[in-house]
Amino acid sequence: MDHAPQPIAGDAARRAIGELLRELARTQIVPRARAPGARLKDDGSWVTDADLAMQRQLQAELAARWPAVALLGEEMSEARQHELLRVEAATPDGAGLWVLDPLDGTSNFAAGLPAFGPSLAWLQGGRVRAGWVYDVMRGELFSAVEGGGAWLDDAPLRVPVRNRALRRALACVDFKRLDPALAARLATRPPYASQRAIGSVALEWCWVAAGRFDIYLHGAQGLWDYAAGLLILHEAGGCSRTLDGDAVFVHELQRRSALCAGDPALLDAWAAWLAAAS
């Protein structure tokens, strides 16, 4: 395997990192599926042996190829995460920072549900420059480079043009972190045709990019949850904002709400309904 340094935002590195995620998912995640070793963390979220093994091995592999790029992983202390972001912000011309969720959809993995995988983003100069999300069970690799487009495996990825009205949309909604009144309104009088949720934030972003969902809503997600998927959606032609109308990405750890759609008109209609219902 070639360990020569490559520009991270180049096509060769995009492909190489994608293959690395595939290989490490095969060796670090899949063998632990029958005995995941799941337990609750202090914040109430799940962690498994696969999360820890994937983060440890991927960090080592990336450091061997790009030793100047530090890694911020979900499975490290919050103090260390803050410090890594502080250093990256203070060196905008530096090598950047990996942001990793080693196993997005951990609760799915622990329960034997087939929607989970690693999500990796590269931040540099306060921006998401590249991102990768691997769907382990489907073998689908989503990737994107800022200004260079998005891909599903080796094919360019663009959101399908449907001009679909909100009332006909297939929505992906995570009810758990929404305001209870808004969640009740969505459950009883939804503005869309049908609703699903798959339990993996990174894959939910990617499935909007692939046209499998028309619209998306999530009440609070972490940087490692959304960074790669957000870039993939935007590079595929989709759009997003928070419930307050701000950009979803911020260069900090605070959780962010997210609503997105495959086209601006549909996002505007979705945001207008949510504003009126809140």
- The answer to whether 240 and 259 are in contact (CB under 8 A) is yes
Contact residues for 82 (Cβ-Cβ < 8 A; gap 6+): 253
Query: Which sequence spans correspond to the domains of the chain?
Result: 11-157, 166-277
CA triple 177-264-229, angle to 5 deg: 50
Give the single-character DSSP code of 48.
-
pLDDT for residue 244: 97
Cα separation, 229 vs 115, in Å, equals 15
Chain CA centroid to CA 261, Å = 15
As assigned by CATH, the class of the 11-157 domain is alpha beta
Q: Of 184, 54, 30, which is closest to residue 114 (Cα–Cα)? A: 30
- The answer to whether 75 and 84 are in contact (CB under 8 A) is no
pLDDT for residue 41: 83
Cα separation, 119 vs 71, in Å, equals 13
pLDDT for residue 1: 40
Intrachain domains 11-157 and 166-277 with the same fold: no
Q: What is the chain's pLDDT, residue by residue, as a tens digit (278 residues)?
A: 444 456 898 999 999 999 999 999 999 999 999 988 888 887 878 899 999 999 999 999 999 999 999 999 999 999 999 999 999 999 999 999 999 999 999 999 999 999 999 999 999 999 999 999 999 999 999 999 999 999 999 999 999 999 999 999 999 999 999 999 999 999 999 999 999 999 999 999 999 999 999 999 999 999 999 999 999 999 999 999 999 999 999 999 999 999 999 999 999 999 999 999 98
Residues across the chain: 278
As assigned by CATH, the class of the 166-277 domain is alpha beta
- The answer to whether 17 and 120 are in contact (CB under 8 A) is yes
pLDDT for residue 4: 44
- The answer to whether 95 and 66 are in contact (CB under 8 A) is yes
Cα separation, 275 vs 2, in Å, equals 51
